[in-house]
Amino acid sequence: MNGLGEPLDCEMFEKGLRTRRLGKKIHYLSEVDSTNLYARNLAEEGGLEGEVVIAESQSRGKGRLGRSWVSPAKRNLYLSVILRPKLSPLHAPQITLMSAVALAETIQSFIPLPPEIKWPNDILVGGKKVAGILTESSCAADRLFFVILGIGVNVNFPREEMPESIRDTATSLMTLSGALVDRTALALQLIQNLDRCYGDLEGHGFPAMAERWSGFFRLQGKRVKVEMMDQDVQGKAIGIDGDGALILEDETGTRRRIVAGDVIPLEPGR
């Protein structure tokens, strides 16, 4: 068990890992700009599928939509995985959704409260964000070379240490469970669940994964606003389609696919 501020137990992590593809090679870093950037460089130089980059802190942690990810040392989990899925670039969002399922299933086993997925990739508990996913791909028109799957989880991050900008919207597993969480055990479980879900996606296809995803999506049938780069839209959240796009229905019954944006609930989830 790691105490507050103790490093990850790399030896236990490597010894405990039971996976088919992920984590055969692990790069531990005490500090990095961003594990996603580091993993991308590795992938560009031939890094293999399943290589994991895990850091104790990030000086330039990246969030979605150009935001930053607060990454203090030895509090949380910051990791990136190189994946080389046999998917067309169009289907790359399936990897994000698969990862959200693996992440939600992992978080569920560490706290006594139900996690929820906020499309496409935030994990919330009690309406506050506890983890996020940033997938970045490298592709040609018809070929996906690799996907960098980056995951950040707020683990032992006390509210008083959070910058004010996120204090009211973010939470951590420690705050939710009322006790320190073993970051090594969490990392181990997360990589194992990702390995299993990645295999499930390949073996059983996206519809089966989308059904599991929907089990964590509490805004189905609820009115939401989606803030996009150039405009905001409102409607009823119907669910996701075969490519992982969010389907919104407006008052006239017209359905619209949303591929990127921020979802804001206009009524409580189920």
Contact 121, 133 (CB under 8 A): yes
Q: How far is the CB of 228 from ligand BTN (least distance, A)?
A: 16
Residues forming the site for ligand BTN (CB under 6 A): 34-36, 58, 61-64, 67, 69, 78-80, 122, 132-134, 150-152
CA distances from 120 to 99, 174, 210, 239 (A): 10, 24, 12, 11
Q: How far is the CB of 152 from ligand BTN (least distance, A)?
A: 3
Considering the complex, state which of residue 80 and residue 184 has its C-beta at the smaller distance from ligand BTN: 80
Considering the complex, state which of residue 197 and residue 236 has its C-beta at the smaller distance from ligand BTN: 197
Considering the complex, state which of residue 82 and residue 134 has its C-beta at the smaller distance from ligand BTN: 134
Looking up tokens 């959240």 gives: 237
Q: How far is the CB of 252 from ligand BTN (least distance, A)?
A: 32
Enumerate the H helices of the chain as residue ranges: 10-16, 35-44, 93-108, 164-167, 173-177, 183-204, 206-215
Contact 170, 153 (CB under 8 A): no
Considering the complex, state which of residue 78 and residue 157 has its C-beta at the smaller distance from ligand BTN: 78
Considering the complex, state which of residue 78 and residue 198 has its C-beta at the smaller distance from ligand BTN: 78
Q: How far apart are CA 161 and CA 171, in angstroms?
A: 11
Q: Which helix (H) or strand (E) holds 140?
A: strand 128-140
Considering the complex, state which of residue 74 and residue 256 has its C-beta at the smaller distance from ligand BTN: 74
Radius of gyration in angstroms for the set of CA atoms belonging to the chain, rounded to a whole number: 18
Q: Tokens representing 78?
A: 């910051």
Q: How far is the CB of 142 from ligand BTN (least distance, A)?
A: 27
Q: How far apart are CA 39 and CA 179, in angstroms?
A: 32
Q: How far apart are CA 151 and CA 135, in angstroms?
A: 8
> Which residue's CB atom is positioned nearest to ligand BTN?
132
Considering the complex, state which of residue 94 and residue 236 has its C-beta at the smaller distance from ligand BTN: 94
Q: How far is the CB of 39 from ligand BTN (least distance, A)?
A: 8
Considering the complex, state which of residue 99 and residue 236 has its C-beta at the smaller distance from ligand BTN: 99
Contact 33, 8 (CB under 8 A): no
Q: How far is the CB of 65 from ligand BTN (least distance, A)?
A: 7
Q: How far is the CB of 224 from ligand BTN (least distance, A)?
A: 18
Q: How far apart are CA 41 and CA 38, in angstroms?
A: 5
Q: Which helix (H) or strand (E) holds 188?
A: helix 183-204
Query: Reduced to 3 DSSP states, what percent helix, strand and coil does the chain have, rounded to the nearest 5?
Result: 30, 30, 40
Q: How far is the CB of 78 from ligand BTN (least distance, A)?
A: 4
